[in-house]
Amino acid sequence: MTEPTAPPAPELPRMGPPPFVFSPQGGSVEGPAFPVLVKCLAVLMAVGCGAWLAQLWITNQPEIHSRSAGLWFVAAQLMITCLAWFIVRSRTRLDATRLHQQWAGDKVMPLADLAFAKFIRVRGLEWLIAPRLYVRTLSGKFAVFYVASPEVRAECERLIAELASFRRL
């Protein structure tokens, strides 16, 4: 005796606006999140602060050799070094399904849910100040992605234009 099977549940219509679809030229594009000068300045700052801390330690400064104060100096140096490391290795990637940036905690935003996108930048100073791509979803979640690569920036500008015309319909 076989058990009767229930008929499949009817598909419910999708609520809300349709998902946004975008395809970068070449399938996906990836590049550094920060300009080379910013990376160099971050590394120089970490190395300079480390050298200053070492100099204080070697010259037996009383501020650095007290137990609690020394820990604060070392903790600050570790934070500066970690920040420099994340700036140097951070990359932004745009593909057909999502926008992704490697950082201390990776940022990911699915393209299908995008409601708004805008560049925040200082024109002419992109070599110094990394342009930021501000994106917001239909549910109000937002994220900011750094985009130093000209190739990724061009694709993001296409994404902004296509998203604006898609959401106006």
Domain ranges within the chain, ordered by starting residue: 31-90, 91-169
Above pLDDT 90, what percent of the chain? 60
Question: Would you state the pLDDT for residue 55?
Answer: 87
Query: Rounded to whole angstroms, how far apart are CA atoms 91 and 76?
Result: 25
pTM for the structure as a whole = 0.80
Mean pLDDT of 80-89: 96
Question: Would you state the pLDDT for residue 162?
Answer: 93
- Phi, psi of 109, rounded to the nearest 5 degrees: -135, 120
Question: In this predicted model, which residue has the larger pLDDT, 126 or 117?
Answer: 117
- 91-169 belongs to CATH 2.30.29.30: yes
Query: Rounded to whole angstroms, how far apart are CA atoms 91 and 32?
Result: 4
